[in-house]
Structure 1
Amino acid sequence: MKVVHVAHRYDYGKPERGLSFEHYNFYETLVAMGHDTSYVDIGAGGGGPGSADALLHASVERERPDVVFCLLFGDEVSPEALGQVTTSGVPTVNWFADDHWRFADFTSRYAPHVSLAATTDRESLPEYERIGARAVLTQWAAATQRYRPTPGPLRYDVTLVGQVYGERPGLVAALRADGVDVRTWGTGWGVRRHHWLLGTKQPFAALGGARLLSRVQASTRADQDEMIRIFGTSRVNLNPTEASHDGVPQIKGRTFEVPACGGLLLTGPALHLEDYYVPGEEVVVFDDVDDMRAKARWLLDHDDERRRIAEAGHARTVAEHTYEKRLGAIFAALGA
């Protein structure tokens, strides 16, 4: 099948940050599935509303695809441009990732213009029906051609890979107060108070403080290959589920990526998580900070049980929670 993939090629549209989540997980999966896949990099249009419209139309005209598969980030492709492709007879899909907080101001504007909307938020399905948009429920998963176990010994006790916000610093601090060796990677973990002051207050920011802050924020990020090694060589992978925008706990890509790499997932609660894993058997779920502390210590002290849960989580992920299966189900629903 010929597919035009419409998404950011680079992380948040910034080449200096490397290739994007969308590239590693969706583009590479489409290629691995054997689809003839071409790119519309929505970050290449210069930014701003409709900046990638011409790129989309040119690609559709050139490629004559069977499907246009989108992961829109903002307004780089306008609803009208997407609708024109749909009404021309080319089936279109968009993967909507944050409907629990973006439906009103984003999804509701785009969903009526695609052939099929794929949403990770079960509670939003009635909203799609209300606006007359066709939708199918999907969920994050793991690109198992990339996310796989790392051979060799375990290197870390507890790790957290992800940017700093919300409850995360408090969870890490609580474990360290218990004497647990916790390692962190992600934007912002190296930032201290003086970095913020230099980076945000004038005249310091204009005199180089802003550049310093940016460098320090980026200094603790792990690249894709390193992240996969961390997941697979950690005894416990901590996964806070608080959303970055409204704080509502949600299933994340990390929920599936860690087990795909053979890691033990110690995760916060999330709505419908039990539909994908059996708590206590395939992943471990903590209710609050005290519960997290107790379960982290138990897992570190009971390695056979920890290993058994990690292996069960890996087996469930490979069998059911891959992007090949997710995309296959979406294309089947589309009739492609």
Structure 2
Amino acid sequence: MDKNPSLRIAFFGRYTEGATGIVRSIFMGLHELGHSVYEINVAARPGLLKNPHRYQGGHGPIYIRWDLVESEVEIFKPDIIIFCAGGLTVEPNILEKLKREYTIVGFTLSDPDVFPTVNQYAHLFDHHTTNSVEALEFYKKKGINNTILMPFAIDSRFFVPRPIDPKLKTNVAIIGHARENRINIAQRLVKEFNTKVYGRNWPFDSLGPVHGEDWFRAAYSTSFLINFPKTGAGYTNVKVGVFEAIATGRLLFTEYFDEMKRFYDYDKEIVGYANEEDLIKKIRYYIDHKDEAEAIAKAGQLRTACEHTWEKRLAKFFRDAKIY
């Protein structure tokens, strides 16, 4: 099979979650595919942004002030311009001009939550992606036909083993911010097991948010990681944390829901739970059956390496969009 051509890509993104965040991970995936990527981190250049509606959390539009980046993009001579999440785009008249010279792509990574605003401009891109099966149907019902499903994934850094930090070593870890539906379970896990909790706004002592190498130390220093599939807006979704956790070779526990079956097999690659009591029971079981726990975790890690990397996701997107 012929190797896919190398593309020149101007990449606009905001690294809200630091070096291990999803936007940075996509940037790394583009490099792993062999593309030449010109990076514009808008968090480091806040003067580039115009946000007339005060949007945040992935909602948009948040406009790039094109007059401030036009010359550097022209010097780079990209084939493609990617606006990677965060509601990023340019004003419609500028977008139409750019589409005459480049292929323009918008990645949305916070669906379905941000669909109510993103659907107002997603159709203006040459190609648009959503992370959500449910949101894909929302776009279709709106008559938005340029949107392609691109589920979450990870880059190769997540497979590189890190040493266990004795100060963080634990049976169970929750790496995520507090939400109402998570608090009772988290408190129960802290009570029942050797559990560490990371993230913001927990109503009890936690170790705070972790990014970059701190995230890796936390993940690699636990045996089990817990996933909560509800989004902030109450949707059930396969989140990026699922792939990040499984890539480290830790055993992931997540609520049962159908969409997860598209990616992993319950009880073979991940462990599902029906409710709080079921989760407690299963954690106890796998603490006592470490060989079984390790076999499931390793099977999940292998499937992640084979199927769920950004290199593979992005290559499929470029093929589906007929950019290759």
Pair in the same fold by TM > 0.5: yes
> CA deviation digits over 1:27-68, x for unaligned, max 9?
122223221111223332434333533345344322221111
TM-score by length of 1: 0.81
**1:196 aligned residue:** none
Q: How does 1:118-133 map to 2 (within 5 A)?
A: 118-129=129-140, 130-133=142-145
One-letter code of the match for 2:11? H
Gaps of 5+ in 2: 1-6, 52-62
**2:58 aligned residue:** none
Partners of 1:260 and 1:20 lie apart in 2 by 13
**1:163 aligned residue (174, 177, 189):** 177
One-letter code of the match for 2:170? Y
Instruction: Indicate the percent of aligned positions where both proteins have the same amino acid.
Output: 23
**2:80 aligned residue:** 67
Matched, 1:267 2:243: no
Q: How does 1:118-197 map to 2 (within 5 A)?
A: 118-129=129-140, 130-151=142-163, 155-177=169-191, 179-189=192-202
Indicate if the aligned counterparts of 2:174 and 2:197 stay in contact, CA closer than 8 A.
yes
Q: Using a 3 Å threshold, how does the CA distance of structure 1 residues 334 and 57 change in structure 2: closer, same or farther?
A: farther
Partners of 1:250 and 1:243 lie apart in 2 by 7
Partners of 1:69 and 1:331 lie apart in 2 by 12
One-letter code of the match for 1:223? H
Q: Using a 3 Å threshold, how does the CA distance of structure 1 residues 316 and 79 change in structure 2: closer, same or farther?
A: farther
**Shift in Å at residue 317 of structure 1?**
0.2
**Shift in Å at residue 152 of structure 1?**
5.8
Indicate if the aligned counterparts of 2:108 and 2:130 stay in contact, CA closer than 8 A.
yes
One-letter code of the match for 2:27? Y
Indicate if the aligned counterparts of 2:132 and 2:149 stay in contact, CA closer than 8 A.
yes
Partners of 2:256 and 2:72 lie apart in 1 by 42
One-letter code of the match for 1:24? R
Aligned residue for 1:255, secondary structure, equals helix
**2:54 aligned residue:** none
**Shift in Å at residue 151 of structure 1?**
5.0
Indicate if the aligned counterparts of 2:158 and 2:248 stay in contact, CA closer than 8 A.
no
**1:54 aligned residue:** 67
> CA deviation digits over 1:249-280, x for unaligned, max 9?
21111110111111111112344100000011
**2:263 aligned residue (242, 260, 276):** 276
CA RMSD of aligned residues (A): 2.5
Q: How does 1:49-128 map to 2 (within 5 A)?
A: 49=51, 50-74=63-87, 77-86=90-99, 88-106=100-118, 108-128=119-139
Partners of 1:78 and 1:191 lie apart in 2 by 44
Partners of 2:165 and 2:111 lie apart in 1 by 40
Partners of 2:33 and 2:249 lie apart in 1 by 23
Partners of 2:71 and 2:203 lie apart in 1 by 43
One-letter code of the match for 2:12? V
> CA deviation digits over 1:213-271, x for unaligned, max 9?
xxxx9x72223112123222311101111212x12221111110111111111112344
Q: Using a 3 Å threshold, how does the CA distance of structure 1 residues 277 and 20 change in structure 2: closer, same or farther?
A: closer
Indicate if the aligned counterparts of 1:251 and 1:270 stay in contact, CA closer than 8 A.
no
Compare the two structures and name the one with the higher helix fraction.
1
Aligned residue for 2:266, secondary structure, equals coil
Aligned residue for 2:180, secondary structure, equals coil
TM-score by length of 2: 0.84
**2:16 aligned residue (11, 24, 33):** 11
**1:2 aligned residue (4, 8, 28):** 8
Indicate if the aligned counterparts of 2:82 and 2:105 stay in contact, CA closer than 8 A.
yes
